Chains A and B, each alone.
Chain A
Amino acid sequence: MLGKTAGGLYWMFRSLERAENTARLIEAGVRIALTRSTTAEAEWQSVISTLAAQQAYEAICEGYDSAQVVNFLLREPSNPSSVLSIMKSARDNARLVRTALTTEVWLAVNETWMLFTDLLKDEIPQTELPAVLATIRQQSGLVRGALHGTMLRNDIYDFCRLGTFVERMDNTARIIDVKYYSLLPAPSFVGSRLDNVQWETILRSVSAHRSFRWAVEEDFTAPAIAEFLILDRRMPRSLAFNAGQIVNSPVASGRGIRHHTSVT
C-alpha cells in the first residue's frame, strides 16, 4: 500500500470518529443546558475546550450561548473541526484513497457527506437539533458497518481502525482532562453532589450512561466513573480499551511492516 494511502485512511477514520464525538458532546451539552440552565454557559465553555477550539471560537464569537456554540460546532466553515468541515475532510480523504475502499464504504462516506452538506445548509432550529445529532451518529455507524461488513482484513483495514481508536482515545482523555480540572470550582468540591452531576455528563458524552449502570455495581461516584473510563477494557471508549487496540494493531506495532528503503 502507498504511504499516502495509509495516511489518507487513518485521517479519514479519525475525522469520521471526531464528527461522531462532537455530536455526542453537543448532546450532553444540550441536556445540561435544558436541565440546569445556570450552568449552561460553563458547560458549553467546557465542550469548546474539550475540542481545543477556544481560540477559533473566541475569534468569531462572544459569550457561550447555546445556539451560537452549536452553530460553531456543527456548521462554522472557519472551524476546522466543525462537523461540516471535518466531513468534507473525511470525504476528501476517501476520494484520495478511493481505490483502497470497497464500493459500500465509499458510497457510505459520499452519501454521508452529501447528507450533511444538505442537513447543515442552514442554522439548525432547536427543535430539529436532536434529530440532526442522531443522524450524525447514525451515519458514522453506517460507515463503520460498511467497513466491518465488506473490507478485507488486511493492512488497509488496520489503518482505518487505527485512526478510529486514536481519535476515540484522544476524545475520552480530553473529556476527563477538561471536566476534572476546569469544571470544579475548587478542589473541595471533589466528591460533592455538583461533582457527580459533572461526572454523569461525562458518561453521557461517551454514550456510557447506561452501560456504566450495567457494568459497574456502584453509584455515580468519581472514582468509579474514572475507573470505568480509564481502565475498563469492556468499555469501547475507555483509554485502556483503545490503548490495547492500538498497541495490538499490526500496523502500529510494526509487526506487519518491514522497514527498509531498498527497492523490492
Chain B
Amino acid sequence: MSINKTHFSEMHVAGEARPPYKGYDAWFAKQNTGRLATKSEEAEAFFRRSGITFNVYGQQDAEERLIPFDLVPRIISPREWTKLSKGIEQRVYAINAFLHDIYNRQEILRAGVIPTDLIAQNDAFLPQMINFSAPGDVYTHIVGTDIVRTGEDEFFVLEDNARTPSGVSYMLENRESMLQMFPELFSSIRVQPVSDYPKNLRRSLEASAPSGCKGRPCVVILTPGIHNSAYFEHSFLADQMGVELVEGHDLRVVDGHIAMRTTKGYKRIDVIYRRVDDEYLDPLTFNPDSMLGVPGIMDVYRAGNITIANAPGTGVADDKAVYSYLPDIIKFYTGEPAILKNVETHRCSEPQQLRYVLDKLADLVVKEVHGSGGYGMLVGPAASKQELSDFADKLRARPSNYIAQPTLSLSTVPIFTESGLAPRHVDLRPFALVSPKGVNITPGGLTRVALKEGSLVVNSSQGGGTKDTWVLED
C-alpha cells in the first residue's frame, strides 16, 4: 500500500513548513546532506558501542539489533501538547479508578456500563487482587499511551499500555544523541527537556511506597535478565535512577518483607518496579515453573509490605476489548467525555460485528485482543488474497480473540535519506508517571516511525525506527 494523498504531513503542508517546524526547516535548508549522513552514521556507531540494542524473540542466536534512529525530529507545538497531556492524564486517572473498582466493589459492572464477561472471561483479571487496594490506590505507575494522528486536530489513542510499557530509554538516548550531534539547534529552538524522567520516576515510585515504610523507601528494578529483549532499558533506568537492578533469584521473603541478597546480608525493599509479566511474578501463586519471580511475593504484597509497580492484574485495563469501552469507562469515573478519541473498534466477539469485519477484511486492521509488539496482526490493505483468507479462518475459529479497526491514515514526518527527506508514518508514545501525589507526563515521548515506504507498522520488532520528539516551549 502506498501513502495516499489524504495522509496528514506534520512537517510540510503544501510546500510550507507548519508552524512548529518553521525553525527546524530553516536550519535544515542550510545543511549539507553529506555532513548529515556522516552524523547519522556516527549516531549509529555510538548506539552500537554503548550497547543500546535489543534482542528479537524467536530468532536463535540472532545478533543484537539496533533500533534505527532517524535524525529528523518530530515536533509538537505547546498547544498540541496541552491537549495531549490533558487527555492522557484523564485516561490514566480513569484507568486507575477502573482497576480499583474492578478488583473491589465492581460498580461499573453493576451499572451495566461494560459487560461482566469482559472481566470474568479475561485472562489478565487476577482473582488474587480481589478485595485488595494497591498502596495509595495506584495500579499503573508507569503508562505509555500510544497515540496516532490523522489531521491537524485529529489525535487518537491506539493502545493504553498499562502493564509494562517500554521504550522510555530510547526517548532519553535519542534526545542525548541530538544534543551531541546538533547543539546549535537547541540554542536557537527552545525544546522542553526530557532528562528529568529518571529522577521523576524514582520520586514517583518512592511516593508510592507502602504506608508502613519508614525512612527513604528502597526502590529496585526487577528484570527477567540479560536475555530479555528490553534488558538494555532495565539496566539503563536502574543506572540513571541510582537503584539496584535485581533478578528473581536475588530476592526472597525475609520476616514478611521482600529483601535482596547483598554482600552485607539481606536488605529490605519497599518498591519493586518490575519488568516481569504477571504470570512469572510468583511461582507459588502463578506459573509454578517460573524462575524469574519471587516465591511468596504475592503474600507480602497482600499484607501491604511491598509496592509492585505496575500492580499485578493491571493488564485487565489494557487489552483491546476493554480498550473499545474506554470512552464509557472515562465517562463513568470522571463524569467528562474523553478528551482523546478512541479509534473505532469492532469487537469480533459480537456476531454482527464479526460479519462486518469478515466482509470488509481487506480494508481493516485486525489485532489479537491480548497481542502486542505487532505480532499476530493483519493489515488488510497490505495482505495478499491468501493471507486474507487464512486470517478469515482464524477469525471464524476464535472470534472473541480479535478486534478490528479501520486502516488509519497515519500522519507522516519525513526521515532523512541519501536522496533527501522522505515522508514516513509515525506514532507517538508519551510516558506518564502516576503516584498518590499525582500524574507527571514527560513532554514528548517516543516517536516510532515505519521506515519502509508506505508501511504503517512502527514496531521495532517489525523494522520500525525512532525519532527524537520535541515539545516546544510556550
Contact B261 A95 (CB under 8 A): no
Within 248-276 of B, Cβ neighbours of A (below 8 Å) are at 249-250, 254-255, 257, 259-268
Contacts A99-B239, A106-B51, A107-B50 given: A2-B266 contact, CB under 8 Å? no
Chain A 1-16 against B: per-residue CB contact (8 Å), 1 yes, 0 no? 1111110000000000
Of A4, A96, A259, A260, the residue contacting B261 (CB under 8 A) is A4
A107 B235 Cβ-Cβ under 8 A = no
- Known A-B contacts A2-B244, A3-B250, A99-B239; the reply to A257 vs B266 at CB < 8 A is no
B231 touches A95 (CB 8 A): yes
Q: Which of B247, B250, B257, B263 contacts A263 (CB under 8 A)? A: B257
Judged by a CB distance under 8 angstroms, whether B179 is at the interface is: no
A3 and B267 contact, CB distance less than 8 A:
no
Q: Which of B48, B247, B263 has its CB near the most chain A CB atoms (within 10 A)? A: B263
Cβ–Cβ < 8 Å partners of A111 in chain B = 49
Other-chain contact of A4, B49, B51, B231, B247 (Cβ < 8 Å): B247
CB pair B264–A264 under 8 Å, yes or no, is yes
| Residue with the greatest number of chain A CB neighbours at <10 A, chosen from B50, B250, B264 | B264
Interface string of A49-81 (1 = CB under 8 A from B): 000000000000000000000000000000000
**Nearest chain-A residue to B269 (Cβ)?**
A263
Q: Bound state CA distance, A262 and B261, in angstroms?
A: 11
The secondary-structure label for the interface of chain A is helix
Q: Is A257 a contact partner of B264 (Cβ separation < 8 A)?
A: yes
Verify B231–A99 contact, CB threshold 8 A.
no
A98 close to B239 (CB less than 8 A): yes
Given A114-B49, A261-B266, check contact A95 B259 (CB 8 Å).
no
A110 to B46, CA, bound (A): 11
- Whole-angstrom CA separation of A257 from B261 in the bound complex: 13
Contact B245 A263 (CB under 8 A): no
Residues of B within 8 A of A264 (CB): 264-268
Question: Can you name the residue of chain A whose Cβ is closest to the Cβ of B260?
Answer: A2
B48 touches A114 (CB 8 A): yes
B231 engages A107 (CB within 8 Å): no
A51 to B261, CA, bound (A): 33
A92 within 8 A of B: yes
Q: A5–B246 Cα gap in the complex (Å)?
A: 9
Q: Given known contacts A155-B263, A263-B254, is B51 in contact with A99 (CB within 8 Å)? A: no
Q: Which residue of B lies closest to A94 (CB)?
A: B51
Contact in complex: A98, B235 (CB < 8 Å): yes
Q: Within the complex, what minimum Cβ distance (angstroms) separates A161 from chain B?
A: 15
Most-contacted residue by chain B among A3, A5, A106, A262 (CB, 10 A): A3
Tell me whether B1 is interfacial, beta carbon within 8 Å: no
Task: For B264, give its contact among A4, A95, A110, A258 (CB under 8 Å).
Answer: A258
Q: Does A251 contact B (CB under 8 A)?
A: yes
Is the beta-carbon distance between A4 and B265 smaller than 8 angstroms? no
Q: B265, A258: Cβ atoms under 8 Å?
A: yes
| Beta-carbon contacts under 8 Å, A197-212 to B | none
B238 near A: Cβ within 8 Å? yes
Complex interface: chain A residues within 8 A of B120 (CB): none
Q: B226 near A: Cβ within 8 Å? A: yes
How distant is A1 from chain B, measured CB to nearest CB, in Å?
Answer: 5
Complex interface: chain B residues within 8 A of A5 (CB)? 244
B246: chain A residues within 8 A (beta carbon): 2, 4
Interface residues of A in 1-54 (CB under 8 A from B): 1-6
For residue B78, give the distance in angstroms from its CB to the closest CB of chain A. Answer: 34
Using CB atoms, name the residue of chain B closest to A101.
Answer: B239
Bound CA–CA A155/B264 (angstroms):
11
For the complex, what is the distance from the CA of A251 to the CA of B262, rounded to whole Å?
13
Given A155-B263, A257-B264; A110-B239 close (CB under 8 Å): no
C-alpha spacing A146/B228, complex, angstroms = 28
Within the assembled complex, what's the spacing in Å between the Cα atoms of A237 and B263? 28
Are A259's CB and B238's CB within 8 A?
no
Closest to B63 in A: A117
Cross-chain contact A4 with B250 (CB below 8 angstroms) = yes
Check A99–B238 contact: CB distance below 8 A. yes
21 contacts between A and B (CB under 8 A): A1-B263, A2-B246, A2-B262, A2-B263, A3-B261, A3-B262, A3-B263, A4-B247, A4-B250, A5-B244, A98-B239, A99-B238, A110-B50, A111-B49, A251-B263, A261-B265, A262-B254, A263-B255, A264-B264, A264-B265, A264-B268
Q: Which 8 residue pairs are nearest across A and B when measured between Cβ atoms? A: A98-B235, A3-B261, A99-B239, A260-B265, A263-B268, A95-B226, A99-B238, A110-B51
Known: A2-B250, A5-B244, A263-B257. 19 other contacts (CB 8 A): A2-B244, A2-B262, A3-B261, A4-B250, A6-B263, A95-B226, A95-B231, A98-B245, A106-B51, A110-B51, A155-B263, A257-B263, A258-B265, A260-B265, A261-B265, A263-B255, A263-B265, A263-B267, A264-B265
